[in-house]
Structure 1
């Protein structure tokens, strides 16, 4: 059975940007819920090691909406190379998955 739901992870450099993206995705019904958490990232960029405080978004949505989420985020994201990763949700409570369906349907 194909997976119909996914968790998309996105990082931003500021809480304000994270909140703006979260609100945009939920308002557009591209996400049922977006959680925002502070995090620290270690990564190589332009041949040097970086350590940055970032904000991690967990976007809960339906897999068929992934491309729309990605496009909407890339239009507004400030990073040159934005982290946008899509992880399939293999299992979840039926009531919660039904809520994702209802929350991401067009009105």
Structure 2
């Protein structure tokens, strides 16, 4: 089965950084939709327990745009090692998936 869509998860330190990153991603048509939520993260970093408020971004895009999206996040993200996790989307409402294609500039033949 060919996978054409994915959701990318990343986190930022605050809402301002999240919105700045999201706007750049959308302006460059690297995704069709980005949702944000405030979270509290617990993680180990450089051998120490960290507890930080963050904003998680759920980025909906196509496999065709993933590499450019990853490069964009790496270039503009404030963290030295940002979380970038790609989840494959194996199904969804056809109209929504067509919208992902058209919004990211990946229209398939026969898509409206």
* Coarse TM-score class (shorter-chain normalised): over 0.9
Partner of 1:90: 90
Q: TM-score when scaled to structure 2?
A: 0.91
Structure 2 alignment gaps of length 5 or more = 107-112
Match of residue 77 from structure 1: 77
Residue 14 (structure 1) shift = 1.1
Instruction: Give, in angstroms, the shift of residue 28 of structure 1.
Output: 0.6
* Structure 1 moving runs of 4+ over 6 Å: none
Give secondary structure in 1 for the equivalent of 2:67: helix
TM-score calculated relative to the size of structure 1: 0.96
Give the length in aligned residue pairs: 106
Unaligned runs of 5+ in 1: none
Partner of 2:32: 32
Q: Distance in 2 between matches of 1:64 and 1:98?
A: 14
CA distance in 2, matches of 1:64, 1:101: 9
**Where in structure 2 are the equivalents of 1:5-20 lying within 5 Å?**
5-20=5-20
SS class of match (1:78): coil
Backbone CA RMSD of aligned residues: 0.9
